[in-house]
């Protein structure tokens, strides 16, 4: 089975890129398979960092994807030279939600490059960007869903540890912060991008969760002890 990074690295041609577009969820599946257990605070923080890194690797791959798309879209068009195509590729993420700005810039470059139809060239650049950004959205959706599900699953254990009378108070306070952070991530998985998990925990108000009340010993319990 390919690793998560290999799934991205294999998108080195138009055919490979289209194969990834046909199955964008494969990346999140491989990320999930590579994650280890996370039952301690250091393990939760390490897993959080790995998941943030997985999102970042998507954007890194997008640069190559945009270069491939532009190479094919502008194969017979010299008005937008390689240096400008390279700039468009490296800044592709910044155009998410702003494709009209990319279109204006591409049209201007094409016009200065004496293109016969600058508008058509700009439209080709935007079509390439739209395809690449759609792939980004699809792949991020899978990873963000994984982040959400893992956070939801970790909340009960963090809550139990935050209320555990047998743990030292500083440890319980840390678990209380972890529980609140996990709840925030479960509600909005993109919250992991705000800062590294240790920094997010440190920024939360100090809080000590009250332990569950101890159950009173009943007469039946005393009989069982006998």
CA 164 to chain centre: 32
pLDDT at residue 1 in the model: 45
pLDDT at residue 226 in the model: 54
* Residue of 136, 122, 32, 38 lying closest to 73 (CA atoms): 122
pLDDT at residue 209 in the model: 86
- The DSSP code for 193 is G
Name the residue ranges covered by the structural domains of the chain.
4-225
pLDDT at residue 151 in the model: 98
Give pLDDT tens digits along the chain (226 positions).
469 999 999 999 999 999 999 999 999 999 999 998 999 999 999 999 999 999 999 999 999 999 999 999 999 899 999 999 999 999 999 999 999 999 999 999 999 999 999 999 999 999 999 999 999 999 999 999 999 999 999 999 999 999 999 999 999 999 999 999 999 999 999 999 999 999 999 999 998 888 766 555 555 655 555 5
pLDDT at residue 60 in the model: 95
In this structure, how many other beta carbons lie within 10 angstroms of the beta carbon of residue 159? 18
Q: Which helix (H) or strand (E) holds 57?
A: helix 41-73
Asked if 151 and 186 count as a contact pair (C-beta separation under 8 A), the reply is yes
pLDDT at residue 2 in the model: 61
Angstrom distance (rounded) from CA 51 to CA 150: 10
In the block, residue with structure tokens 């790995």: 50
CA 206 to chain centre: 28
């Amino acid at each position: 089975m390919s690793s998560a990074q290999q799934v991205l690295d294999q998108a080195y041609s138009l055919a490979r890129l289209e194969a990834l577009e046909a199955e964008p969820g494969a990346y999140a599946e491989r990320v999930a398979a590579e994650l280890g257990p996370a039952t301690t605070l250091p393990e939760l923080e390490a897993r959080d960092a790995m998941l943030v890194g997985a999102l970042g690797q998507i954007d890194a791959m997008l640069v190559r994807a945009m270069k491939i798309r532009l190479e094919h879209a502008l194969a017979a068009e010299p008005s937008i030279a390689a240096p400008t195509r390279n700039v468009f590729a490296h800044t592709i993420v910044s155009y998410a939600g702003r494709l009209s700005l990319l279109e204006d810039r591409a049209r201007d470059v094409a016009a200065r490059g004496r293109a016969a139809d600058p508008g058509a060239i700009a439209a080709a650049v935007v079509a390439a960007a739209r395809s690449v950004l759609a792939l980004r959205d699809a792949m991020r959706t899978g990873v963000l869903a994984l982040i959400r599900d893992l956070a939801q699953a970790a909340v009960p254990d963090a809550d139990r540890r935050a209320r555990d009378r047998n743990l030292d108070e500083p440890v319980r306070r840390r678990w209380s912060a972890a529980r609140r952070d996990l709840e925030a991530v479960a509600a909005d998985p993109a919250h992991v991008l705000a800062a590294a998990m240790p920094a997010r925990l440190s920024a939360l108000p100090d809080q000590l969760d009250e332990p569950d009340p101890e159950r009173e010993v009943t007469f039946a319990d005393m009989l069982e002890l006998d």
